[in-house]
Amino acid sequence: MTVRVVLVDDHHMFRTGVRTELLEAAPGFIDFVGEAANVEDAVSVIRREEPDVVLLDVHLPGGTGHGGVDVIHGCLGVETAAGAPVRFLALSVSDAAEDVIAVIRAGARGYVTKTISATDLASAIRRVADGDAVFSPRLAGFVLDAFGVAAGEIAEVDEELDRLSAREREVMRLIARGYQYKEVAKELFISVKTVETHVSSVLRKLQLSSRHELTAWAMGRRLI
């Protein structure tokens, strides 16, 4: 039985490469029913085609800048004709923990890097379509760490981030980018004093002591 696949990547030639190699490596197994090069197109194609599996690049133009995460969020609840949920398999050049965690939290069922061979990719697609989760060997370790019982450092990061309120995260992002308090105040239409309060809370909650450490913290987690 064939697997209906939508392919999302902003590089046309990479899409051709994936298509060509998969059709050669596993003839008749995959039915490519759509492609997209940005977040908006991806969401509409997926909603229209209701594929079994979406092959998805993590870094995409469009949306709020979170690429693959935005696509998945935009397709919550979409089901195939058979009633199974649409499965997402992330296909990325990045093996950064933050990217992996983000897209898995968003709901992807697997994550493989673009160095994968065509035959391995074909079997990964088959397994994801069947409901399995698939990860490149190098990634499997810390994915288990992050979601397992003994939560490692990656999981703790998000716990810390979760302790911040929405407004605090908003202020934090601007401060980490080098905005002055005055500029943040103008941007968010609040007073400088309120900005100071939020910044103090953020620094206290994250156990940091200056905006420079905050910048380093945010950069280390690819939040900016």
Task: Report the interface residues with DNA, using CB under 7 A.
Answer: 165-168, 175, 180-182, 188, 190-194, 196-200, 203-204, 209-212
Beta-carbon count within 10 A of 30 CB: 25
SS3 109: coil
12 near a second copy, rule: CB under 8 A: yes
147 near a second copy, rule: CB under 8 A: no
d(CA 193, CA 4): 55
Picked from a second copy, DNA, none, the partner binding residue 200 (CB below 5 to 8 A depending on kind) is DNA
CB of 203 to DNA, least distance (A): 4
Site for a second copy in 193-212 (CB under 8 A): 210, 212
119 near a second copy, rule: CB under 8 A: no
Picked from a second copy, DNA, none, the partner binding residue 203 (CB below 5 to 8 A depending on kind) is DNA
96 near a second copy, rule: CB under 8 A: no
Q: In this structure, what token pair is assigned to residue 216?
A: 């380093």
Strand order in the sheet with 87-92: 30-36, 3-8, 53-56, 87-92, 110-113, 134-135
Picked from a second copy, DNA, none, the partner binding residue 65 (CB below 5 to 8 A depending on kind) is none
The amino acid present at 120, given as its one-letter code, is: D
Residue 55 vs 128, nearer CB to a second copy: 55
d(CA 119, CA 67): 26
Residue 145 vs 183, nearer CB to DNA: 183
Picked from DNA, a second copy, none, the partner binding residue 114 (CB below 5 to 8 A depending on kind) is a second copy
d(CA 61, CA 72): 14
The amino acid present at 134, given as its one-letter code, is: V
Picked from DNA, a second copy, none, the partner binding residue 166 (CB below 5 to 8 A depending on kind) is DNA
114 near a second copy, rule: CB under 8 A: yes
Helices (H), 35-191: 39-49, 68-74, 97-106, 118-129, 137-147, 153-162, 166-176, 181-188
